[in-house]
Amino acid sequence: MAEAPTHGDLPLSSSSPLSPLDWLMPRTYIRQMLCFSASPSTSSSPAASRNIPGESEVAQTLRDGLAATAAEVPCLLSRVVGLTYPHGAVGLSRPYQSIEDMFDVRDVSQDYSFTELKEKGFPPDVLGRGGFTPETSQSDEEPVFRARLSLVEGGFVLGIAVHHSTTDITGFGVLLKTWAADCRRLRDRSENWSDLHLIDAAMLDRAAVRDLGSGVAGSDIPSTIPTVLFFRDGEPVPKPAAVAPPSGFATAVFYFSPASLGLLKALATDRLLSVAADVPWVSTSDVLTALLWSAVVAAEAPPLPLLDGDDKTTSISTISIPVNFRGRCDPPLSPEYLGAAFARAAASAPVRELVSMAALSSAADGDGPQRHRADTTADTLLAKAAATIRRAIRDQVDGQSIRAAVAYTAAQPDITRVKRRPADGISMVSWADQGLCALDWGPHVGRCETVRLGKMPGRRYPIVLPRLADGGLEVILSLEAAAMERFRGGALVRRFGELRCLA
C-alpha cells in the first residue's frame, strides 16, 4: 500500500483527510447559481423602495447559517493542497479562513431585475458575465468553498463554488441541505430543533472509503487497471489548440415537463421486453439520458443513412454515466456521505441507431401510418438505448469494482496517470436528485426557483439540472452553434422538450 500522505510544511487536518477516490476528482470547482425571488417575510430595509430583499435579513441569515454549517463541516474553512506522496494526490490544509473570507454580498439591483431574468429563462450569458459566481482564483490558494450573494430587484442569486476534489454532486447537495437547515433553524422559532443533529460522523468519515481498499491483501491488489478506471500510459498527447468555428458556441437550456418525462418513460417501458429481456426496468433518468445521447450524436455526426438504408456503417458511440456508489459498496456508505463517491459506467451503441432514433420522426410528415411507423421505430430504439445504459450501470459499478479501484489507486506511487473512465466519448451528468429546489431556507430566504450555470465558452455535453418544484427537469448544454441548431431541431427534443433560453 502507499505511504501515508504528506504535504511539505503544511500540516493536514487530522479530522478530514481525503480518500484515494477524492484524489481522482477534477482539480476544479463545481459552480451553481441558485435563483430566489424575494421572500414575502423579508422586512423593510433601506432598499425596500426598490423591492430589494433586505440585506440585514437575507445576508445575515445566510452568513449565520454558513457559520453553523462550517462548525459542523470544518473542512469548508480549509484549502486543497498537493501532497508529496503519492505524486498527484491532494489533501486538506488545516482550517485557515473565516466566514467573511468565504461569503461576500453585493447589491446589483440597479442592473438586474428578478422578473426580467425569469422572463428570459434566467439566461446563462447574462448570469455568467454578471459576476454572480464567487471568485476562487485570486491567488494560488484553492479554497474548498466560496459563496456570493447578489441582490437584484425582486430577488437574489446565491452563487456557490465547492472544490471538486472534496466532494461530488451528491455531497454538494448534502452541504447545501445542511446550510439551508441551519438557516431555517436559526430563524424559525416555530419548530423544535433541540434534538436535531444535521451532520453525523458517518457523513464525514472519509476513512470509510479508504477502508474499502485496506481490506484487500497486498497480493490481491489488482495488477491491471480496474474496470471503473483507465490508465493513461506515458505523457498525455498534447491536443491541438481549440479553434472556435466562425459561428462560435451556443449554450441552451431545455425544459422537460413531468408529463413529457412520464410519457418518455412509458414509451420506453412498453418496448423494453422486446429489446432487452435481461433488463426488467429502466428509470426516467436512463430514458432521458438515452434521448440526450441520441440528440447530441445526431447533432454532431456527419449525415448517415437511416436504418432502412443499405449502409453498413458500424461506428460506435460511447457515453459515460456517473454512478453514485454510496449504497453499492460493502459495507455501504452513509447515503449523505460528504466525500466523492461515484464511479463511471460506460455504455456503447451504434452511431447509426442513435442518429436514426433522433431523425426517424422527422422522416415522416403528417399523422398517417408512415408517421406512426417512424415514431414506433424511434421509440423502440429509445428503449434499446435506455436498456444499454441501465445494463452498464447495473453490471459495471458494484462493491467489488469499487474495492479494487480504491486499493489500486492507494497503492500507486504516482496517481497522475490514473483516471476515472472513460477517457473519450460523450459524458453526461445528472444533478436531478440534488434536491435544491425542494430546500426550505427559512422565512427570510425562501426556496430556490431554479439553478443555472454561466454560458460555456466551449463544448459541454448535457447536464440535467436539479429537479424543479413542479417535478420537471431542465437540461443545459453547449455545442457549436450549427450543431445546437440541429440539436434543438431534432424530432425527439421537439417532441418531449421545449427551449427555455439560448445564449
Grade residue 46 by pLDDT with cuts at 50, 70 and 90. very low
Question: Residue 166 carries which DSSP code?
Answer: T
Listing DSSP states for 484-500 in one string gives HHHHHHSHHHHHH-EEE
So what's the pLDDT on residue 40? Answer: 64
CA-wise closest residue to 290 among 382, 424, 427, 394: 382
Task: Note the pLDDT tens digit of each residue in 64-118.
Answer: 999 999 999 999 999 999 988 899 999 999 999 999 999 999 999 999 999 999 9
For residues 437 and 452, the answer to whether their CB atoms sit within 8 Å is no
So what's the pLDDT on residue 193? Answer: 58
3-class secondary-structure state, position 192: coil
Matching fold, domains 20-231 and 253-430+458-502 = yes
Neighbouring residues of 375: CB distance < 8 A, sequence distance ≥ 6: 360, 361, 364
Strands 429-430 and 450-452: unpaired
Show the beta-strand stretches assigned E in 341-497: 342-350, 418-420, 426-427, 429-430, 450-452, 460-464, 473-480
Output 12 or 392, whichever has higher pLDDT.
Answer: 392
Average pLDDT of the residues in 391-420: 89
Host H or E run for residue 390: helix 369-396
375: pLDDT strictly greater than 90:
no
Task: Report how far residue 214's alpha carbon sits from residue 349's, in angstroms, rounded to the nearest whole number.
Answer: 37
Task: Report how far residue 401's alpha carbon sits from residue 407's, in angstroms, rounded to the nearest whole number.
Answer: 10
15: pLDDT strictly greater than 70:
no
229: pLDDT strictly greater than 90:
no
CA-wise closest residue to 355 among 311, 287, 298: 298
So what's the pLDDT on residue 236? Answer: 39
191: pLDDT strictly greater than 70:
no
Grade residue 39 by pLDDT with cuts at 50, 70 and 90. confident
Grade residue 187 by pLDDT with cuts at 50, 70 and 90. confident
So what's the pLDDT on residue 359? Answer: 74
Alpha carbon separation from 27 to 144, 167, 477 (Å, rounded)? 11, 11, 21
Task: Report how far residue 495's alpha carbon sits from residue 488's, in angstroms, rounded to the nearest whole number.
Answer: 10
From the centroid of its chain, how far is CA 156? 22
Cell of 258: 413531468
Listing DSSP states for 95-117 in one string gives P---HHHHEEEEE-TTT-BHHHH
Query: Thinking of the domain 20-231, which architecture would CATH place it in?
Result: 2-Layer Sandwich (3.30)
CA-wise closest residue to 162 among 174, 180, 154: 174
Listing DSSP states for 209-271 in one string gives HHHHHHTS-GGGS-SS--TTEEE--SSPPPPPPP---TT-EEEEEEEE-HHHHHHHHHHHHHH
Task: Note the pLDDT tens digit of each residue in 236-267.
Answer: 333 444 444 545 999 999 999 999 999 999 99
For residues 328 and 403, the answer to whether their CB atoms sit within 8 Å is no
So what's the pLDDT on residue 372? Answer: 47
So what's the pLDDT on residue 4? Answer: 44
Global pTM value: 0.88
43: pLDDT strictly greater than 90:
no
Host H or E run for residue 81: strand 80-82
Domain spanning 253-430+458-502: CATH 3.40.640.10: no
Cell of 116: 426580467
Grade residue 371 by pLDDT with cuts at 50, 70 and 90. very low
Task: Note the pLDDT tens digit of each residue in 407-437.
Answer: 889 888 998 888 776 556 899 999 999 999 9
Q: Write down the domain spans for the chain.
A: 20-231, 253-430+458-502
For residues 346 and 396, the answer to whether their CB atoms sit within 8 Å is yes
So what's the pLDDT on residue 417? Answer: 81
